[in-house]
Amino acid sequence: MNIERLAAAPGVGPGVPGVRIMLRRIFWILGIILGLALGAALLGPFLISTQSLAGREPASAAATPQSRFVEIPFPGTQGIKLHYLMAGPENSPADAPVFILLHGFTFNAFTWRPNLDFFARQGRVFAFDQIPYGLSAKLTPTDWDGPNPYAKEAAIAQLFAFMDALGIERATLVGNSSGGTLAMEAALARPERVERLILVAPWVYAQRPTMPAAVAELPQLRRISLLIGRKLGEGGLLDYSYADPGRLDEERRSLMKIHTRVANWDLAWGELLNRSLSSPVTVSARLDQITQPVLLLSGDQDKLVPVADTRKVAERLPNATLAVLPGCGHVPQEECPGPFEQAITGWLRGSDPDAASPKPPG
């Protein structure tokens, strides 16, 4: 029996009217399901409200006693107000060491609060909120008519504008996670203004999804970015950044979410996240061009940037030292400030920070 005879046999095949009707019904149902799924994908995001969350305050109302503000210029804006913390003598000699502390993704300047006095003993120290985090400006598209202030190049320009506004010519940049990435990009862009780098679990090899700008700008993706920004703004990454979230107290949790008190915070976070969709992290291709002395610190319990990634960065840099901190997660400056500061002290004195033998936090 060949295939042709089987296909023509009575009661078999799609030629039978009953089978044709059944297949049409199946395909009709599948078409409806597919159409509903496509409609949900295309129209569902439009259910996400683009109205800013109500009842928010100006940043000045949410400020702490340590808070300071400075306005920096940026093309296409009326200026960007940055919130920062500082410690150390204000009238230091011109050649006194300066440390600028750069927080990571979704964090703010308060991540460095446990370390301000430590750095102040070395010189002057400044920790500022990169926009739109913490109490710095919450820019939305109506606030600029030039370059996107959330672009990578803009973050570098804003860092140097911050230094200019405070009369800082040269500094050691201390960056955690994406703040470490910014520190490296700044060292590449203006090497004469960066004395040294201290990088805490820098975000270099841990990739995130990216797509062409034309796709990222679709209204559906802009609204999804807003939804994700609102979710991240609740502070969930804080627990995940600790090896032991039990070390967190309510004051720290409150400072992590201080941005939620400020008007338009969610719209600004949505803009940043949307811009990041078309901004891949590319600094790994230029690590060999960073010639400044570099200290890399990694918690051995880091769940976001594994020790192996930080070690790989250390191996690629021409002048780097690596210290691994036992019992610490992604933000050792918060979770275990003692071993963190001990390692930096050894390095600043010209010794291997591992020689200081950091101990697990108690």
Per-residue pLDDT reduced to its tens digit, 101-158: 999 999 999 999 999 999 999 999 999 999 999 999 999 999 999 999 999 999 999 9
pLDDT digit string, tens, across residues 69-81: 999 999 999 999 9
Task: Judge whether 121 lies within some domain.
Answer: yes
pLDDT at 330 exceeding the cut of 90: yes
Give the mean pLDDT of the chain.
86
pLDDT digit string, tens, across residues 146-195: 999 999 999 999 999 999 999 999 999 999 999 999 999 999 999 999 99
Task: Judge whether 218 lies within some domain.
Answer: no
Mean pLDDT is lowest, of 21-30, 56-65, 313-322, for 21-30
What CATH number does the domain containing 193 carry?
3.40.50.1820
Domain that holds residue 319: 60-206+282-356
Instruction: Report the C-alpha gap between 346 and 101 in whole angstroms.
Output: 19
pLDDT digit string, tens, across residues 268-277: 999 999 998 8
Task: Judge whether 249 lies within some domain.
Answer: no
* CA 89, chain centre distance (Å): 30
Instruction: Report the C-alpha gap between 216 and 192 in whole angstroms.
Output: 35
Counting Cα atoms < 13 Å in the Cβ hemisphere of 61 gives 8
How many structural domains does the chain have? 1
pLDDT at 40 exceeding the cut of 90: no
Q: How confident is the model at residue 91 (pLDDT cuts 50, 70, 90)?
A: confident
E runs forming strands in 35-167: 68-72, 80-87, 98-102, 124-128
> What is the share, in percent, of the chain residues with pLDDT greater than 90?
67
- With H, G, I as helix, E, B as strand and everything else as coil, classify residue 324: strand
Task: Judge whether 9 lies within some domain.
Answer: no
Close Cβ partners of 235 (under 8 Å, ≥ 6 residues apart):
106, 253, 256, 257
What pLDDT, on a 0 to 100 scale, did the predictor assign at position 293? 97
Task: Judge whether 198 lies within some domain.
Answer: yes
Write out the H or E segment, with its range, that includes residue 298: strand 294-299
Q: Is the dihedral of CA 39, 40, 42, 43 positive or negative?
A: positive
Q: Which whole number is the average pLDDT over 292-296?
A: 98
Q: Write phi, then psi, for 217 (nearest 5 degrees).
A: -85, 0
Instruction: Report the C-alpha gap between 37 and 191 in whole angstroms.
Output: 51
Instruction: Report the C-alpha gap between 139 and 275 in whole angstroms.
Output: 13
Amino acid occupying residue 29: I
What pLDDT, on a 0 to 100 scale, did the predictor assign at position 18? 64
Instruction: Report the C-alpha gap between 263 and 255 in whole angstroms.
Output: 16
The two tokens of residue 336 are 């275990």
The two tokens of residue 335 are 């979770």
Q: How confident is the model at residue 245 (pLDDT cuts 50, 70, 90)?
A: very high
The two tokens of residue 229 are 């920004």
Task: Judge whether 3 lies within some domain.
Answer: no
Task: Judge whether 70 lies within some domain.
Answer: yes
Close Cβ partners of 132 (under 8 Å, ≥ 6 residues apart):
138, 139, 150, 259, 265, 268, 269, 271, 272
What pLDDT, on a 0 to 100 scale, did the predictor assign at position 93? 73
